[in-house]
Structure 1
Amino acid sequence: MSIESLTRGLRAELENGGLRGSFLVRDLHSGHELGIAPDVWYPIASLIKVPLAAATLERIRIGELDGSTTVEVRPGRITTPGPTGLSRFHHPARVALDDLLYLSTSISDGTAADALFDLTSPEEVTRLLRQWELHGITARHRMSDLTDTPAERLEPTEVSLAHTLAITAGTAGNGHPVSQLDVTRANAGSARALVDLLQALWIPSGIPRSIGTRVRELMANNLLRQRLAPEFVSDASTWASKTGTLLNLRHEIGVVEHADGRAFGIAALTESRVAAANQPEADALMAWVARTLRDQLRRG
């Protein structure tokens, strides 16, 4: 089967499953890659926590911050489904920066991430990405903005209305009246840019080696493994990743490392046309598409 036939068939499967997606799989050592619309920009939701972790670690490395410093974090008191960790606390807590990095990256705690954004602004995160020659990801806002969407303003029984708005109100240029879904106002990036970031964290690059080592560890400890992990975890491979979810958006980026030494960076960014919050079939479909692309690339 030709590459064109393969990707055309995968696009059709996504369409039949109610998804539009942007995928890229890259052999991190050879640079060979295979994808579907990898240069389309998406709001990236919690995926921004990976650049945030790298930026925070850079400031610790150069002595602007101390990882052992504790900060008082106000409780998130969030009760809607999804948020984790400090975001659901009812009382203030004192947490060290090193531990905030774990909470933010490994369990996707938005309140922990905002405590880090208090110290390293979205603008500074973007500046450091550019310093490392990573140009396709832009940080613009804190994570608390992601808990102020139509989904939080409606009753739980009306959540489908929020998803319907997310699905139907976008423009052809990826603009949206919901600011968190507008690529010109949201934290945004493309599948290619996110794989570039993974490659810079895994392979010697402008990002200092100590930062790459720590971020890889945080991603390997990711507790949210319902999306791509089932297709990539085995006794002969490891999977380190980060998910991102917002309304009808379902994303994941990660690296699968095989016992034979090969490593593949993977980005899967999708938006659903089905007005429902829980769609395990969508998670399974995007994982299967990513696995199919990886298998094809691995065969050479």
Structure 2
Amino acid sequence: MNTARLAADLVEELDEGGLRGSFLVRDLHTGREIGIDPDVLFPVASLIKVPLAAATAERIRLGELDGSAQLTVQPGRISTPGPTGLTRFRYPARIAVDDLLYLSMSISDGVAADALFGLTPPAEVNRLLRAWELHGITARHLLGALSDTPAERLPAEEGHLAHSLAISSGTSGRGHRIQQLDVARANTGSARAFVDLLQALWTTSKIDAVVQSRIRELMGTNLLRQRLAPDFTSDATTWFSKTGTLLNLRHEAGVVEHADGQAFAIAALTESRISAVHQPEAEVLMARVARVLRDHLRHG
């Protein structure tokens, strides 16, 4: 099947499943790639923790930050389903900067990430991305904003109403009544931008090798594996990734390394038009689409 026909079929499959998606798969050795609307800008939710982690690791490498320095981190005290780690703590904790990196990436701890943003603000993350000649990802706000949406203000049994608002309140220019879903106000990026970042972390680039190694290590510790991981994990592969979730948005960006030496960067950014809090079928569908694209590139 030719590439255009395959992409069209996958778009139809996504639509039937209630999803709109932006996907890109790139062979990290040859540069060949295949995608579906890879340049569409999305609010990226917790995917912003990848450039934040890279910026933090770079500042540690330069001696601007001490990875062993302990910070007193205030508890998140979030009780709604979803957030993890310090975000659910009820009391302050003292944690080293390098351990905050681990919590931010491995369990997507928003409070840990905001402690890191306190050291390296969004503007500095953006500056380092541009210094690395990476474009298309913009950090604007802290992660605490992701726990301040209509979903947190409604009773759990009415969570679907928050999703209905997320689905219905966007504009044709991708503005939104909910700030965290408005591409002019949210942390944003595209599938292409995240694949570019992954390529810069996995191959020779302006990012120092020490930083590359640390971020690859952290992405290998990701414990949230319900999305793309089932389709890219086997005895002959290793999957490194970071997820991002907010209301009707489900994202994941990662690299699959094959035992034969091949490696592919994959970014899948999706939004659902189904007003349900739990959508395991959406997770399965976006993983299938990403896998079909990878298989086409690997064997085509």
TM tier, shorter chain? Answer: over 0.9
Structure-1 residue corresponding to 2:21: 21
Tell me how far apart the structure 2 counterparts of residues 34 and 230 of structure 1 sit (CA, whole Å).
Answer: 21
Deviations along 1:260-284, one digit per CA (max 9) or x if unpaired, are 1000000000000000111000000
SS in 2 for 1:171: coil
Tell me how far apart the structure 1 counterparts of residues 132 and 112 of structure 2 sit (CA, whole Å).
Answer: 24
SS in 1 for 2:82: coil
Tell me how far apart the structure 2 counterparts of residues 298 and 160 of structure 1 sit (CA, whole Å).
Answer: 39
C-alpha displacement of 1:128: 0.4
Structure-1 residue corresponding to 2:69: 69
Q: Where do 5+ consecutive residues of structure 1 fail to align?
A: none
C-alpha displacement of 1:299: 1.0
Residues 106-185 of structure 1 correspond to what in structure 2 (within 5 A)? Answer: 106-185=106-185
Tell me how far apart the structure 2 counterparts of residues 127 and 166 of structure 1 sit (CA, whole Å).
Answer: 31
Residues 230-249 of structure 1 correspond to what in structure 2 (within 5 A)? Answer: 230-249=230-249
Residues 193-232 of structure 1 correspond to what in structure 2 (within 5 A)? Answer: 193-232=193-232
Structure-2 residue corresponding to 1:43: 43
C-alpha displacement of 1:20: 0.2
C-alpha displacement of 1:173: 1.1
C-alpha displacement of 1:19: 0.1
Structure-2 residue corresponding to 1:95: 95
TM-score, length basis structure 1? 0.99
Amino acid at match of 2:282: A
Structure-2 residue corresponding to 1:12: 12
C-alpha displacement of 1:161: 0.8
Tell me how far apart the structure 1 counterparts of residues 112 and 48 of structure 2 sit (CA, whole Å).
Answer: 13
| 1:56 to 2:56 alignment | yes
Identity %: 71
Tell me how far apart the structure 1 counterparts of residues 58 and 164 of structure 2 sit (CA, whole Å).
Answer: 40
Structure-2 residue corresponding to 1:285: 285
C-alpha displacement of 1:6: 0.5
| 1:31 to 2:17 alignment | no
Tell me how far apart the structure 2 counterparts of residues 227 and 145 of structure 1 sit (CA, whole Å).
Answer: 23
Tell me how far apart the structure 1 counterparts of residues 103 and 204 of structure 2 sit (CA, whole Å).
Answer: 26
C-alpha displacement of 1:144: 0.3
Deviations along 1:81-113, one digit per CA (max 9) or x if unpaired, are 110001111110000001000000111000000
Tell me how far apart the structure 2 counterparts of residues 85 and 145 of structure 1 sit (CA, whole Å).
Answer: 16
Runs (4 or more) in structure 1 with deviation over 4 Å come to none
C-alpha displacement of 1:158: 1.0
Structure-2 residue corresponding to 1:270: 270
RMSD value over aligned CA atoms?
Answer: 0.5
C-alpha displacement of 1:4: 1.1
Tell me how far apart the structure 1 counterparts of residues 230 and 241 of structure 2 sit (CA, whole Å).
Answer: 12
C-alpha displacement of 1:200: 0.2
C-alpha displacement of 1:24: 0.1
Tell me how far apart the structure 2 counterparts of residues 180 and 89 of structure 1 sit (CA, whole Å).
Answer: 23
Tell me how far apart the structure 1 counterparts of residues 137 and 43 of structure 2 sit (CA, whole Å).
Answer: 10
Q: Where do 5+ consecutive residues of structure 2 fail to align?
A: none
Amino acid at match of 2:74: R
Tell me how far apart the structure 1 counterparts of residues 63 and 51 of structure 2 sit (CA, whole Å).
Answer: 18
Deviations along 1:121-155, one digit per CA (max 9) or x if unpaired, are 01110110000000110000000000110111111
Amino acid at match of 2:250: R
SS in 2 for 1:101: helix
Amino acid at match of 2:166: A
Tell me how far apart the structure 1 counterparts of residues 184 and 131 of structure 2 sit (CA, whole Å).
Answer: 21
Tell me how far apart the structure 2 counterparts of residues 107 and 161 of structure 1 sit (CA, whole Å).
Answer: 27
Deviations along 1:227-279, one digit per CA (max 9) or x if unpaired, are 00000000000000000000000000000000010000000000000001110
TM-score, length basis structure 2? 0.99
Amino acid at match of 2:187: N
